Structure 1
Amino acid sequence: MKRWNGLSVTVIFVLLAMIVSACGGSGGNSGSGETGNNGANASGKAVKISLLNSKGEIQTQLEEAAKAFHEDNPDITLEIMAAPAGTSPFERASTLYASGNPPTMMMLDTGDVEKFKDRILDLSEEKWNADAVENATNLTTFDGKNYGFPLAIEGYGFIYNKAVLDEAAGGSFDPSTVKTRDDLENLFKQIEASGKKALIISPMDWSLGAHFLPLAYAGQNKDMAEVNQFMDSLKAGTEDLSGNAVLNGLLDTFDMMKQYNIDKKSPLAGVYERGPEVLGKGEVGIWFQGNWAWPQIQDFDTASGAYGFLPVPVSNNPEDYGNQEISSAVSKRIIVDKEKSTPEQQEAAKKFLNWIVYEEKGQDFLVNQASIIPAFKNITIPAADPLGQSIQDYIARGKSQESMSTLPADHWAKVGASMQKYLNDSGDRATLIKEIEEYWTSVK
């Protein structure tokens, strides 16, 4: 054994004294949970937090926002975790909880929030609740407590490239001229007569199962209470969908879309990325999708940003509900874990949410970078992109149909698969309707 001499012992005591002094000088108990101006605790201890992102189209923008947030809050580091493509946010969040390693924040679909309410933070006391748009927190409030941060208002329908439609119409295209299925088919014919393809159908299960088919649910009635009764009858097995006018009308429109689909010969071969490319390059005039697609369309845009939305008509009566309305709602919600995250991480997460709502950089990320329509009245920045502007216009004119925000987490995968078979002509309408009815009677 090596023997320590007196000098060595002295040096050791001096070093120990310096370490103790440094720790004491940092100020405060690192476990106190108190936060300073930089969002970390009062000791200045660095805090690492994470966010599960289920909007893959804004992964890059979120990563840049995390850097900007860190610049404003040097003691907080935010990691953005991408949810795997094709996996529902509920499935991914459930897997992370099962592994005992959930992120600090998770971006979920509205209907998933309640499933986690015993494991996540009550956000009712946060300032932004008072600044949220009307009804923005209704669907995430349980027993008087709100558990979800309303990230975005989203809408969807037929996105059109105005340059293509102007050429087809032989002048400036007027979207108000399309009010019926026949109007839509006439437009398709005009586009194809001009030498372009009418539209592209993206075959992803989430697009068909979470967006297109639910138009038939929401279109049952303007009154959501009536829609909810309809959904209850589906679950009870008392609704005969084979005779439902709205569903059959929507499928009649889908049949017509299939005939004009640029990928008609291989309807399931397409991927999401193909849609914004062919629309932005002007190879097709119309794409069924939502305003979240703008960043990708913009990458290919040759039309100087001239785009807008058309509703999806379900009949040839222009007065029928849905024929002139665009589906929209507060969609994605951010929740904060309380089961595994520390008090310091929870405070840092809340600071990030407030940064989005109240700080100039946060608002810029939301509106200008991520092309999101904010769900907060205090954010007065107009939509930076034409699709957001189009959605805002429909809402302002009272021409919006509330999206189905609380569908079960497996709806898009199971019913979306049935829609894919219908798109591919490997299942007829009777089979599709039977599978939709069987799905709903299996929902617990």
Structure 2
Amino acid sequence: MKKWQKLGLGLVTVTAVATLAGCGNASSKGSGSGDDFLYVFNGKGEIADPLKKVVEEYGKEHNIKVKTYTLSVGTTNGNEVQTTEFNSKTPPTIFSSGTLTNWGPDSGDYMQDINKVDNSKLKKLADEVPEAQRLTAKNGENFGIPYNIEGYGYQVDKNVLKDLFEGDTDALVADLKAETNYESWQAFVKAVDAYIKNGTVSTVTVNGHPYTFASEKKGLAKELNGVFVESGAELWTYQNHWVSFPLNAVFKNVSEAYYAKKDEGIKDAKAALKAEIKGLDFEYSYIAGKNGPVKRGPDFIDSATGSYDASLANFVAHKGLFLKQGNWIYPNLLKLDKSIINTMDLIPVKWPVQDGDIKVAGRDAKLFNTTIPAFVPNYFIINKQVSKKQQKIAADFIVWLYTSERGKKFLKDEAGFIMYNDLKDTTSPNKLNNAIASYVAAGPTLANTFDGTPGSFNDTIGDYLKKNYMTKETWTDKDYDNYVNKSVKTWVDFKEQSGQ
């Protein structure tokens, strides 16, 4: 899940130093000294507490000084903060990234190729990473061990569907997953909205099968205020999550997007980008709030009511039927209401893309509406710029994390990760993973192409959407075209700035 602003390594500012303590979660413990030091810099805010705990336990067990720093969820200056830490007297010995930008061989050269590490156990773990999921450059490098396999779509609590509709809930979920007709999807959403607001009982067709609303509102259906729970203040939830779809229409994977020259690829994405903004408009027209339905406007992007945390709370309180998020929300759900996890499932995001909009061989509109983006969001990476001894300590820690009982407890139970080297394992209490694993196993899935965007493209376009679209209730066809043109121009501008 992409939440960081991409900044050049040279952008170390007074602001970055001043905000370091305020935008993350840092801790340091242990009795070791000198090179007996382990510092894990983590970009995934959802696992801050359990990671801090397991690192501290490792430090105590091995008598070394340890430190963790975790960026808070929604941080937009993560690369700036990380750059500051890399230039400190005690830089991270392990850091996380899901992209070569800023830290890879062509920019900074901080990533240690595990192929060159003198640790056979770590090399074995790295060799088990499937080719398609490796963080690599042009020469077969293997830069990291996956945190997790993540994926996103419309999270849904099946218990709400059970109270909304008569009949077989599992069949309805299966049909929602399989629905390829966008007009049918729109009709379903509008019917749910009418039932929520007016109690209108009707029969809707999903994937060719009829489903009738309950004759009277009951149970969790009474709690609903809208169809979709959204985070108006969090631009990554509508920029990064949505832009991956049109980018997947023209780029096969992150690497293709990252290495594309100038307007290569993006010039062919205009139709898909327009389909994206239309789909975004529709989804964000049926928003559920804490106390009733919500419309786009200045209040929608308020940081108090439109935050990531607020959206999770609203979903758990069953204020909306769908929440466009991924399996990374598991640690938050544990704190809010862990019982909901066992009744959740995942529906692919639906959008009005046409076969002619898609330029990648083997992909079509049916695939885009029946599968999900599934990817490795972050990797544990050894900082090649620290001392050899610190690199050895870092390698030993990663091996311990993925092979010891305590380490695997953190990965599976506390962080709720899917183990990249054991996709068939369903023993994790994070049942959200089962849905992701089922899409991956069925294949093919889509890539996290938003991680291949140039410069600060995601934050620039996300901010543009936030200020000019999320504050406006009605969007016009001209608004759609403006979004497309702005996206293409911004992409090309950042490519040119990077010398591509």
Q: TM-score range by the shorter chain?
A: 0.7 to 0.9
Residue of structure 2 equivalent to 1:282? 318
Q: Which runs of 4+ in 1 moved over 6 A?
A: 43-46
Contact kept in structure 1, 2:38 and 2:93, CA below 8 Å = yes
Name the amino acid aligned to 1:259: S
Structure 2 unaligned regions, length at least 5:
1-29, 118-122, 196-220, 289-293, 355-363
**How far apart, CA to CA, are the structure 1 residues paired with 2:365 and 2:343?**
28
**How far apart, CA to CA, are the structure 1 residues paired with 2:464 and 2:434?**
33
**Residues 111 and 230 from structure 1, CA distance in 2 versus in 1: closer, same or farther, beyond 3 angstroms?**
closer
TM-score, normalised via structure 2 length: 0.71
127, 132, 136: which is aligned to 1:130?
127
Percent identity of the aligned residues? 20
**How far apart, CA to CA, are the structure 2 residues paired with 1:147 and 1:83?**
21
Is structure 2 residue 131 aligned with structure 1 residue 102? Answer: no
Residue of structure 2 equivalent to 1:435? 486
63, 66, 74: which is aligned to 1:75?
63
**Residues 230 and 46 from structure 1, CA distance in 2 versus in 1: closer, same or farther, beyond 3 angstroms?**
closer
Structure 1 unaligned regions, length at least 5:
1-39
**How far apart, CA to CA, are the structure 2 residues paired with 1:248 and 1:435?**
11
Give the superposition deviation at 1:323: 0.4
**Residues 104 and 68 from structure 1, CA distance in 2 versus in 1: closer, same or farther, beyond 3 angstroms?**
same
**How far apart, CA to CA, are the structure 1 residues paired with 2:34 and 2:84?**
30
Give the superposition deviation at 1:101: 4.5
Residue of structure 1 equivalent to 2:110? 119
**How far apart, CA to CA, are the structure 1 residues paired with 2:435 and 2:91?**
37
Describe the superposition over 1:71-103 as per-residue Cα deviations: whole angstroms up to 9, x where unpaired.
5x3223432102255235433322323445421
Describe the superposition over 1:236-291 as per-residue Cα deviations: whole angstroms up to 9, x where unpaired.
5971654x1x3222222211112101232432120000121111121111111111
Contact kept in structure 2, 1:209 and 1:412, CA below 8 Å = yes
Q: How many pairs were matched up?
A: 396
**How far apart, CA to CA, are the structure 2 residues paired with 1:50 and 1:397?**
38
- SS in structure 2 opposite 1:202? coil
User: What is the correspondence of 1:57-206 to structure 2 with a 5 Å cutoff?
Assistant: 57-70=46-59, 73-84=61-72, 85-99=74-88, 101-112=90-101, 113-114=103-104, 115-116=106-107, 118-124=109-115, 125=117, 126-137=123-134, 139-171=135-167, 172-173=169-170, 174-178=172-176, 179=179, 180-192=181-193, 193=195, 194-195=221-222, 196=224, 197-203=226-232, 204-206=234-236
**Residues 440 and 123 from structure 1, CA distance in 2 versus in 1: closer, same or farther, beyond 3 angstroms?**
same
Contact kept in structure 1, 2:236 and 2:462, CA below 8 Å = yes
Residue of structure 1 equivalent to 2:390? 345
Residue of structure 1 equivalent to 2:203? none
**Residues 128 and 304 from structure 1, CA distance in 2 versus in 1: closer, same or farther, beyond 3 angstroms?**
closer
**How far apart, CA to CA, are the structure 1 residues paired with 2:59 and 2:458?**
36
TM-score, normalised via structure 1 length: 0.79
Give the superposition deviation at 1:401: 1.5
- SS in structure 1 opposite 2:41? strand
Give the superposition deviation at 1:422: 2.3
User: What is the correspondence of 1:26-425 to structure 2 with a 5 Å cutoff?
Assistant: 47-70=36-59, 73-84=61-72, 85-99=74-88, 101-112=90-101, 113-114=103-104, 115-116=106-107, 118-124=109-115, 125=117, 126-137=123-134, 139-171=135-167, 172-173=169-170, 174-178=172-176, 179=179, 180-192=181-193, 193=195, 194-195=221-222, 196=224, 197-203=226-232, 204-220=234-250, 223-224=252-253, 228=256, 232=260, 235-236=263-264, 239=267, 241-242=269-270, 244=271, 246-262=272-288, 263-265=294-296, 266-269=299-302, 270-301=306-337, 303=340, 305-315=342-352, 320-339=366-385, 341-377=386-422, 380=425, 382-404=427-449, 405-408=451-454, 410-420=456-466, 421-425=468-472
**How far apart, CA to CA, are the structure 2 residues paired with 1:52 and 1:311?**
32
**Residues 168 and 181 from structure 1, CA distance in 2 versus in 1: closer, same or farther, beyond 3 angstroms?**
farther
Describe the superposition over 1:185-236 as per-residue Cα deviations: whole angstroms up to 9, x where unpaired.
3443454414412111223122222222111111347x559x9389837635
**Residues 232 and 136 from structure 1, CA distance in 2 versus in 1: closer, same or farther, beyond 3 angstroms?**
closer
Name the amino acid aligned to 1:393: S
**Residues 201 and 399 from structure 1, CA distance in 2 versus in 1: closer, same or farther, beyond 3 angstroms?**
farther
Q: Which range moves more in the overlay, 73-82 or 152-161?
A: 73-82
Give the superposition deviation at 1:155: 0.5
- SS in structure 2 opposite 1:402? coil
Contact kept in structure 2, 1:327 and 1:403, CA below 8 Å = yes
Q: Which range moves more in the overlay, 321-330 or 210-219?
A: 210-219
Contact kept in structure 1, 2:150 and 2:374, CA below 8 Å = yes
Give the superposition deviation at 1:364: 1.5
Q: Aligned-pair RMSD on alpha carbons?
A: 3.1
**Residues 271 and 234 from structure 1, CA distance in 2 versus in 1: closer, same or farther, beyond 3 angstroms?**
farther
Contact kept in structure 2, 1:108 and 1:335, CA below 8 Å = yes
**Residues 386 and 191 from structure 1, CA distance in 2 versus in 1: closer, same or farther, beyond 3 angstroms?**
farther
Name the amino acid aligned to 1:132: V
**How far apart, CA to CA, are the structure 1 residues paired with 2:253 and 2:141?**
22
**Residues 111 and 207 from structure 1, CA distance in 2 versus in 1: closer, same or farther, beyond 3 angstroms?**
farther
